[in-house]
Amino acid sequence: MTLHTPSTDGSPARAGFLSPQPPANPSTAGPARHGWQGRVVRLTRGRIACGPGSAERVQRRAIAGVQADFDGPKTIVVLNPKGGANKTTATLLIAATMGMHRGGYTLAWDNNESMGNLGVRVMATGHTNTALDLLQDLGRFDNGRSIRLGDLDNYVHPQGDAQFDALASDLDPAGVSTIDGPAFRRLYAVLSRFYRVLVVDTGNNMRASNWEAAVETADQLVVVSTIHEDTGYGAAALLEGLRQKGHADKVARAVTILTAPATTVDAALSRRLHDHFGQLTRAVCDVPHDPAIVAGGPLNIHALAPRTRRAWLHATATIAEGL
């Protein structure tokens, strides 16, 4: 027998109806869409509703992880003091994965103090403005009037159906202005009002004040390295430096991403890197080599091989666990 608790005004009690219900298990909810199970569902027009296979269940759990609720804007900072470590690639693919599965309000931000690479790796729009231009115009956003996300369109570059925006660093090789720590904080104060997730690319100078300011704001550090001795050493030195600067807690919660520089990698070096960074950071994720990344031009996540997109999805889900 079911007992109903009457309300004092004679209407049915609403507390139970309005309270959040336990979400369905994301890995098993709904019929299969991929694999042979998905083909059966399509061929029978749903009359045979096969559940998802193991690979699809893993995929669905990763998507659910990326889509997890956050308690406010979150900042992911991508690091390695060595050039050629794939920081910019990682920044863009993490932002694209977040944007596509969370529905936008994600920013990839090049926080190089002078000239960075992110601006040449994204789809161009109708302007060439950078973080320096936004910095010069910040008074528009601090004058007390109502500001909308669209007011940033003249500074950021929307990335189409990847559903994230990109903010480039200065692209003028003859430029003399730089972004320092106070400038980064002023930009951050505005940008974090409009974006749920900020993915910050960093330069190679660990002593730069804007680099240190980015680390201070980070909710999650992501250390990126190719499976090479030099970038691996750079990442190891980075973590040691962060610990000495008082960021041991952020190091322990960091995620390491190891990217394969070619179709075959040095297996012994890979094991060494996994062992080293596995002891220092919360998780180590592998992503494969993909020819679509090598060219160095605008990066299109849809041009990547399915296994590459899956690897970045799982890496991004691992990052999201720390947010």
**pLDDT, tens digit (0-9, with 9 covering 90-100), for 145-159:** 667 778 899 999 999
Region 188-193: what's the mean pLDDT?
93
Q: How confident is the model at residue 176 (pLDDT cuts 50, 70, 90)?
A: very low
The candidate with the shortest Cα–Cα distance to 116, out of 132, 102, 140, 100, is 132
What domains appear along the chain, each with residue ranges and CATH number?
Answer: 28-66 (no CATH), 70-321 (3.40.50.300)
What share of the chain has pLDDT > 70, as a percent? 80
| Helix (H) or strand (E) segment spanning residue 167 | strand 165-167
Q: What are the backbone angles phi and psi of residue 317, rounded to the nearest 5°?
A: -65, -40
- The pTM of the full predicted model, rounded to 2 decimals, is 0.86
Residue 41's pLDDT is 46
**DSSP H stretches of helix in 103-228:** 131-136, 181-191, 209-217
* pLDDT surpasses 50 at 294: yes
- pLDDT higher than threshold 90 for residue 39: no
b/e sequence 177-209, b meaning 16+ C-beta within 10 Å = ebbebebbebbbebbbebbbbbbbbbbbebebb
Short-list 114, 136, 250, CA closest to 186: 136
- Phi and psi (nearest 5°) for 75? -120, 125
The contacts of residue 97 (CB under 8 Å, 6+ apart) are 66, 301, 312, 313, 316
pLDDT at residue 51 above 70? no
β pairing state of 197-201 and 255-259? unpaired
Residue 89 has pLDDT above 70, yes or no: yes
Looking at residue 11, the DSSP 8-state letter turns out to be S
**pLDDT tier, 60 (very low <50, low <70, confident <90, very high otherwise):** confident
Q: Is residue 175 pLDDT above 70, yes or no?
A: no
Q: In this structure, which long-range contacts are made by residues 176-180, counting pairs with CB atoms below 8 Å and at least 24 apart in sequence?
A: 177/132, 178/113, 178/114, 178/210, 179/111, 179/112, 179/113, 179/114, 179/131, 179/132, 179/135, 179/210, 180/113, 180/208, 180/209, 180/210
Quick one: which of 217, 211, 279 has its CA closest to 251? 279
